[in-house]
Amino acid sequence: TAGATPQRAPASDVRSRSNARFTSSMHQGGAPLGPGAAGGGEYDMRGVVADGGAAAAAPPPPAGAPPGGYAPVPATAQVVQWGAPGASAAAVPLTFEVDPDLVPPKVNFGARPMRDTKMLIFFGVANLLWIVLGTVLAASGSTDDEINSMLTACEQAHPYGPNGRLTSETGYHFDGLSPFSVLRSFPGLPVVYGLFIILVAAGWLMVLEKFARQVMYATVAVCAASLAANPIIFKLGFEAGVPYWLAAGAIIGAAIWKRGEIDLAAALLSASIVALRENIGLLLAGVAIVLLWCVLAVIHVAFLMASANNTTVEWDGVYCATTSTGLATFFRFTLAPLMYAWHFWLMMQLNFATVSGTVAMWFFHARDEPHPELRRPVLTSMKWAFTSSLGTHTWIALVMMLLEPLRRERKRSALYRNCNCALWAIYFIAACVYDCVAKYVGKYAATVAVITGNDFATSAKSAYAVVKHMFSGAVVTSVMSETVISLGAYLFGVVVAFASWATADAQFNEATLSAASCSTDCDIPPSLSAAMCVLVLVLVRFKWFTMILLIFIDGIIVDSAAEFTGWALGCFIGAVAYLIFEFIGHIVLDAVDTAFMCFAIDKYHHHVGANARKLHRVLARSPDVVRVMPPTYEQVTGADAAAYSPPHAGTAAAASSGGAEGGA
């Protein structure tokens, strides 16, 4: 308590009130302890009386205090934390500021006025300018025939350049390509592949829900083993292999050191998949937002093509060159790219807001609560995202758009680095911190905005106040969850690719996949089959490039190299599957980020969300998780109290007389 010597309250007498106001020690001006102290009790930082004090004797507010509320002041509190198995509880003094009304542990179902209207107006003006200029360019652009006529007239005036070469150049032209003739010839194949992808996705999510912790530690082991095996596979030698082995050891050491945060990330991942399973409409909402983005992308492409037709043909002394008009140049290289990026990030934020609102309602509220919004959480979240909070999400999209070049530069530097191992390790740590800061802006602030309905600035401040005590947990949760989801999506995409290749081989009576282990009478050389297998791993990873490439070469493969049809079809189906798995994975990651923020709000308010009891019970059984959490303690009342008590509480776990509230 503020202004008093910190003393530990016995765990057996601690009582939690999730919505309690601060006592007199937390009043504005820091008034002294009230009657509760006189009765021999000690106040904890939530206005809860321990050690037999008078719980009902709440002191009156001091003169000048605002009616009906208390202003937070710095408080000093001692919190019981569990030590090693069999050890007694120990008190640790901690000093921090707490505002009970900062981010309430519930979703605001009241009236939500429009927020960040100035940014929304600016966004509307930018869109209006983009549409007007694009329409003007589309109306004033030359047709292809007119451009060809201008080129012909220029070439007739200047048939040869200074080096005696013809000024016109003949481009490549693709004729006779019939994409995906195989899929059209066998209509049942797309259905079979689609069902197979759905089954794989469902199985993947089920495994993550039931075995999230084991999957996370297995991912750590795979990453460390792949690093350690690199020098052996590529025969780099001992000296060149030392940095790889040190990096692998560092990964294992970090996993052991941060095992509490890894357990937290696993529990959040499992809870997020449960929330997704109970709100399956999130997938349909995500598809709807993707379709909206596709419509915007088509408009962008149409406007860019219109700007390309606003050209003039001039002789530059060497060639007959086309030159864009000034307005078309401004639109193509300035306005169009900015609006494209802004629209992209806005669609990402709207999708996240839909997921975030749904998961927050699931986390904090039971379905039987008297709120009509809880009967249709996905539609409610979409309505808030596209109406009252649209200005806020526009702000966040603009900030993320400006941060994107830094992220791309970071990825480019990571791929093409020329520094020693120590500098790269420092760079990697800085990159993780940067990712967490970017996620704080794009995800945590957006989550608070969705929960409270506040503007961007207020939500960002509130998110920082809550997350700053859990920064380490935020970094580990972000890195581990993204690694597990991205690696799982890629591996299952590869599985689908090889399965599709095998079924296509069976359909066409080919043996190109099995030729890798063939010794005699092979359809293709075994070395070629092995190279094709390796190429599948690469092509699935670069999914967009693979799909576009195979669209162009499909006719060539079918007409002149039929033995590669199964391989090409497998690569294409694997790339599509990887794209679908990534789409589902992004929704899961959005749910994980929201669940982390909701859990941080729970910890901040000593509260347990309606659907978070299992999550809190799982975390309470892990001493490492309790150790890394911010300075709070949790309680689950009633029938859940016994299950919630930590396993290594020592004598303090005997808590609660008569089965009442207990378990610090």
Residues 350-376 pLDDT 10s:
999 999 999 999 998 887 788 888 889
Name the CA dihedral angle for 345, 349, 352, 357, rounded to a multiple of 10 degrees.
180
Tokens of residue 413, six digits: 């530097």
Strand boundaries in 268-326, DSSP class E? 311-315, 320-324
Q: How confident is the model at residue 345 (pLDDT cuts 50, 70, 90)?
A: very high
Cα–Cα distance for residue pair 186/368, rounded to 1 Å: 49
DSSP run (H or E) holding 537: helix 526-541
The answer to whether the pTM exceeds 0.75 is: no
Cα–Cα distance for residue pair 372/619, rounded to 1 Å: 32
Cα–Cα distance for residue pair 540/624, rounded to 1 Å: 38
Q: What is the percent of the chain where pLDDT is above 70? A: 61
Lowest-pLDDT range of 79-83, 266-270, 329-333:
79-83
CB 27 within 8 A of CB 61: yes
Which of residues 300 and 35 earns the better pLDDT score? 300
Q: Quick one: angle between helices 336-364 and 117-140, nearest 10? A: 140
456 pLDDT higher than 80 = yes
Mean pLDDT for all residues in the chain: 72
Q: How confident is the model at residue 261 (pLDDT cuts 50, 70, 90)?
A: confident
Gyration radius of the chain over CA positions: 31
Q: What's residue 62's pLDDT?
A: 44
649 pLDDT higher than 50 = no
Residue 9 has φ and ψ, to the nearest 5°, of -85, 135
Tens digit of pLDDT for each residue in 30-80? Answer: 333 333 333 333 323 333 333 333 333 444 444 444 343 333 333 333 333
Q: Which residues contact 293 (CB under 8 A, 6 or more apart)?
A: 343, 344, 347
Q: What's residue 621's pLDDT?
A: 55
- Kindly state the average pLDDT of the residues 216-236: 88
Q: What's residue 530's pLDDT?
A: 84
Lowest-pLDDT range of 20-34, 163-177, 550-564:
20-34
Tens digit of pLDDT for each residue in 412-446? Answer: 555 445 555 556 666 666 766 676 677 677 788 99
563 pLDDT higher than 80 = no
Region for residue 413 given its phi and psi (left: phi exceeds 0; alpha: psi -120 to 50; beta: otherwise): alpha
Which of residues 413 and 643 earns the better pLDDT score? 413
Lowest-pLDDT range of 42-51, 126-135, 592-601:
42-51
Is 91 in a helix, a strand, or coil? strand
Single out the residue of 116, 126, 142 nearest to residue 392, CA to CA: 116
Cα–Cα distance for residue pair 160/168, rounded to 1 Å: 9
Is 40 in a helix, a strand, or coil? coil
Region for residue 176 given its phi and psi (left: phi exceeds 0; alpha: psi -120 to 50; beta: otherwise): left
Q: What's residue 412's pLDDT?
A: 58
Which of residues 1 and 625 earns the better pLDDT score? 625
Which of residues 36 and 314 earns the better pLDDT score? 314
Tens digit of pLDDT for each residue in 99-122? Answer: 656 777 889 888 899 999 999 999
CB 590 within 8 A of CB 482: no
Q: What's residue 176's pLDDT?
A: 33
